[in-house]
Structure 1
Amino acid sequence: MAWLLLVLLGVAAAMFGSIVGLGGGIIIVPMLMLLGPVLTGGEIGHATAVGISLTVLVVTALSSTLTYTKRKIVDFRSGWLLFITSGPAAMLGSALTGLLPAGAFQLIFGVFMLLMAAILVARDYMKPFTKTWPIVRTMTDAKGQVHTYSYGLVPVLAIGFGVGLLSGLFGIGGGSLFVPLMVLLFKFPPHLATATSMFVIFLSSILGSGMHIYLGETDWLLVLALAPGAWIGGKLGAAIAVRMSGKGLLWLLRITLLLLAVQLIIEGLKTF
């Protein structure tokens, strides 16, 4: 029964994560911490939960990226640029995870998610930057639609570092930050931002999970149980995402972040 629950958790987390560009870690980490006794008969520490999440994210993000690539909505050039700083930062964040007490980790994680939800709600009342940045990108997707957007080198590298650090620290992949920033600051179309975010998550998760593995903060039995579902869920989520409207994607992301933020804050406060 526990094995079946883990497979289903992998499917649900990966499917939802790839739809909104999160990578699924936002669901896997809190669920592993909350359901540890049911799944393994013992508590699962936050550092181990993050290590498991990032390892599974490699599978989820690869699955989603391959599906998005077929639809020609992954901007690989921009993705590699973001990875220049997000990759090393993910390793740094992963090294810092175990230094936080469990309660503090949940509380900080919850507040972070709450802020992300607030930013996404405020997005409707904020005007996207109208500035044309130095680097202009134009992409044509599989449907023949042409998308044009732009960004600056320094802002992209700074965003990559900040998101990579939080990704490694919380095991969430980073899409919760990448997607709104890419849409708001650089006018990426939501679907293209989600797809490109998943590619960066794939690369960064390899380095972040490698650090957790090095520190002994990964349970390979749980990874093996979650990985098959993550592969299936990643493909399903990517297929669903391209059929949803940009507004639908953003509202789904807002509601999820809000609900999980409240739960994490409550759990964190219980330890004080």
Structure 2
Amino acid sequence: MEWIFLVLLGVIAAMFGSIVGLGGGIIIVPVLMLLGPVITGEVIGHAEAVGISLTVLVVTALASTLSYAKRKIVDFRSGWLFFITSGPAALLGSALTGQFPAGLFQLVFGVFMLAMAALLIARDYMKPFTKEWPIVRTMTDTSGEVHTFSYGIVPALAIGFGVGLISGLFGIGGGSLFVPLMVLLFRFPPHMATATSMFVIFLSSILGSGMHAYLGDTNWLLVLALAPGAWIGGKLGAAIAVRMSGKGLLWLLRVTLLLLAVQLIIEGFGTF
């Protein structure tokens, strides 16, 4: 029964993650921490949950990136630029995860999820930045639609660093921060921002998960249980994302984030 639950968790988390560029860790990490005793019979610590999530994230992000690439909506050139800083930052974040006391980690993670839920709500009402950046990109997707957007190297590298640090620290994709900033600051088309975000997440999660594996934070049995669902969910999420606005699923994700955040904050305060 536990294996079935883990496979379904992988599918649901990866599907949501692929649609909005999160990667699924925002669901996997708190669920493992909260339901660890039910799933495995013992508590799953925050460092172990993050290590598992980042390793599964490699599978999710790869599945999503391959699906998005077929539709020609992944901007690989921009993605490699973001990765210049997101990769090292993911290593740094992964190394710092175990330094947090368990209660403080739950509290900070809960507050972070509240902020991400607020950002996901606010992005529907925020207008894109009108500044013309020096690097202009033009791409044509498989439907023949031409997309033009621009960005600056310094802000792109700064955003990449922030996303990588969050990804390594919390075991999530960072797309909840990445995608809105790409859309609002650089005027990326939403679907292209999500697709490019998943490519950067794939690269960063390889480094982050490698650091956690080196530190002994990875439960490979749980990774094997979650990975098949993550692959399926990553493919499904990418297919759904290009066919719908995703507003209904976004609201479901927002409510899920709020509920998990409140639970983590309550548990975090309870340890003080």
Which bin holds the TM-score, normalised by the shorter protein? over 0.9
Q: Please state how far the C-alpha of 1:254 moved relative to its aligned partner.
A: 3.9
Range that drifts further, 13-22 or 199-208? 13-22
Q: Please state how far the C-alpha of 1:124 moved relative to its aligned partner.
A: 4.2
Q: Unaligned 5+ residue runs, structure 1?
A: none
Superposed counterparts of 1:121-270, under 5 Å = 121-245=121-245, 251=251, 254-270=254-270
CA–CA distance in 1 between the matches of 2:196 and 2:114?
24
Q: Corresponding residue for 2:47?
A: 47
Change (3 A) 1:202 1:190: same
Q: Report the residue type matching 1:146 in the other structure.
A: V
Kindly indicate whether the alpha-carbon contact (under 8 Å) linking 2:136 and 2:150 is maintained by their aligned counterparts in 1.
yes
CA–CA distance in 1 between the matches of 2:38 and 2:209?
24
Kindly indicate whether the alpha-carbon contact (under 8 Å) linking 1:20 and 1:249 is maintained by their aligned counterparts in 2.
no
Deviation readout 1:230-268 (Å, 9 max, x if unpaired): 111110111011111275675555444333322322222
Q: Report the residue type matching 1:161 in the other structure.
A: F
Aligned residues: 272
Q: Please state how far the C-alpha of 1:39 moved relative to its aligned partner.
A: 1.1
CA–CA distance in 2 between the matches of 1:220 and 1:124?
38
Percent identity reads 86
- Provide the secondary structure at the position in 2 that maps to 1:147: strand
Q: Corresponding residue for 1:34?
A: 34
Q: Report the residue type matching 2:163 in the other structure.
A: V
Q: Report the residue type matching 1:62 in the other structure.
A: L
Kindly indicate whether the alpha-carbon contact (under 8 Å) linking 1:20 and 1:252 is maintained by their aligned counterparts in 2.
no
Change (3 A) 1:251 1:134: farther
Q: Corresponding residue for 1:89?
A: 89
- Provide the secondary structure at the position in 2 that maps to 1:172: coil
Q: Report the residue type matching 1:11 in the other structure.
A: V
CA–CA distance in 1 between the matches of 2:252 and 2:134?
32
Deviation readout 1:124-169 (Å, 9 max, x if unpaired): 4433210110011111111111111110000000010111011100
- Provide the secondary structure at the position in 1 that maps to 2:257: helix
- Provide the secondary structure at the position in 2 that maps to 1:34: helix
Q: Please state how far the C-alpha of 1:15 moved relative to its aligned partner.
A: 1.1
- Provide the secondary structure at the position in 2 that maps to 1:138: strand
Deviation readout 1:190-245 (Å, 9 max, x if unpaired): 11111111000100000000000000000000001111111111101110111112
Kindly indicate whether the alpha-carbon contact (under 8 Å) linking 1:83 and 1:200 is maintained by their aligned counterparts in 2.
yes
Kindly indicate whether the alpha-carbon contact (under 8 Å) linking 2:16 and 2:253 is maintained by their aligned counterparts in 1.
no
CA–CA distance in 2 between the matches of 1:258 and 1:156?
29
Superposed counterparts of 1:113-128, under 5 Å = 113-128=113-128
Q: Report the residue type matching 1:211 in the other structure.
A: M
CA–CA distance in 2 between the matches of 1:229 and 1:66?
16
Kindly indicate whether the alpha-carbon contact (under 8 Å) linking 2:67 and 2:235 is maintained by their aligned counterparts in 1.
yes
CA–CA distance in 1 between the matches of 2:253 and 2:75?
21
Q: Corresponding residue for 2:106?
A: 106
Change (3 A) 1:213 1:29: same
Q: Please state how far the C-alpha of 1:12 moved relative to its aligned partner.
A: 1.0
Superposed counterparts of 1:63-82, under 5 Å = 63-82=63-82
Change (3 A) 1:260 1:145: farther
CA–CA distance in 2 between the matches of 1:251 and 1:150?
29
Q: Please state how far the C-alpha of 1:35 moved relative to its aligned partner.
A: 1.1
CA–CA distance in 1 between the matches of 2:14 and 2:71?
19
Q: Report the residue type matching 1:182 in the other structure.
A: M
